[in-house]
Amino acid sequence: MSAGRDMLCDTARAVFAEAATAGVAPVEEAGFALLLVPEEHGGFGGDWGDADAVLRIAGAMVPDLPVADLIARQAALLPAAVVSLMAGAMGQALALSIDHVNSRQQFGRPLAKFQAVQQSLSVMACEVRAVEAAAAALAVRLDAVNIDPSAAGFEIACAKLRANRAAGIVTSIAHQVHGAIGFTEEYALHRVTIALMRWRGEHGNDAHWAEILGRKVARAGGRGLWETLTSRG
């Protein structure tokens, strides 16, 4: 991550911390709607890697605010933006779960010491990292094609389908290891898990993206699919 992106992420965390109680106004005032606008047009001239980084933070900190709509600015990019939001929210769910099992005592020892809990969290961690990798690969492709969603349709379909499939697993395990506290209004987990279930159906559910991806693969054929994948390396 570049120094410029580090500063961008620090700014995003500060702005989203304020927005968590003040609403979307601080996000608008900070100019995040101009993140992907070229400098010559009065924007910040950021790339999709910048957008992905900011959206992951938004997914963790302010999942209820329309940050994706502000940053993406066009409907065709919203599925890609939602993948980044989901990656951030899943990472937050994992962090909360790890913290909980390390601090919660049961039968005289932390929940994290029980093998069944460790196994569940390892499954959850694999799903989270897979979605983070999908979001990162999608960002690389979008930047390679100057953020043209029509030239990144394959990656958008792959990433959204992978995030959708992970959402149910991550949400289920997070609430299993938390128990009843995970559903309470005072605890932060439900904010990201409810958002994950909402995003799973937004801009195309599992069946929608599976069909799109399946048609792309079928049209390409075996050799064509291999060439498609290797050309994007």
Question: Which of 44-58, 98-112, 203-217 is least confident?
Answer: 98-112
Section 26-50 average pLDDT: 95
95-112 tens-digit pLDDT: 999 999 998 877 878 888
Contacts of 144 (CB under 8 A, 6+ apart): none
Residue in 67, 40, 39 with CA at minimum distance from that of residue 52: 67
1-26 tens-digit pLDDT: 567 899 999 999 999 999 999 999 99
Fold adopted by 3-231: Butyryl-CoA Dehydrogenase, subunit A; domain 3 (1.20.140)
Domain boundaries, the chain: 3-231
pLDDT for 2: 65
Q: Give me the amino acid identity at 34.
A: L
Highest mean pLDDT: which range of 107-111, 137-141, 177-181: 137-141
pLDDT for 225: 86
Per the model's pLDDT, the better-predicted residue between 68 and 224 turns out to be 68
pLDDT for 233: 61
Structure tokens at 166: 């992970």
Calculate the alpha carbon distances from 50 to 3, 6, 22, 184 in Å: 12, 10, 24, 34
Q: Give me the amino acid identity at 120.
A: S
Mean pLDDT, the chain, rounded, equals 94
Phi-psi region for residue 104, left (φ > 0), alpha (ψ -120 to 50) or beta? beta
pLDDT for 232: 74
Section 203-218 average pLDDT: 94
pLDDT for 228: 82
DSSP secondary-structure letter at 55? H
Answer whether residue 156 shows pLDDT above 60.
yes
Contacts of 178 (CB under 8 A, 6+ apart): 96, 97, 100, 187, 189
Section 198-220 average pLDDT: 94
Answer whether residue 57 shows pLDDT above 90.
yes
The band of 191, judged by pLDDT with boundaries at 50, 70 and 90, is very high
Calculate the alpha carbon distances from 44 to 25, 50, 62, 65, 224 in Å: 19, 10, 22, 21, 38
**Max Cα-Cα span within the chain:** 63
**Reported pTM:** 0.94
The band of 129, judged by pLDDT with boundaries at 50, 70 and 90, is very high
The percent helix, strand, coil of the chain (3-state, each to 5) is 80, 0, 20
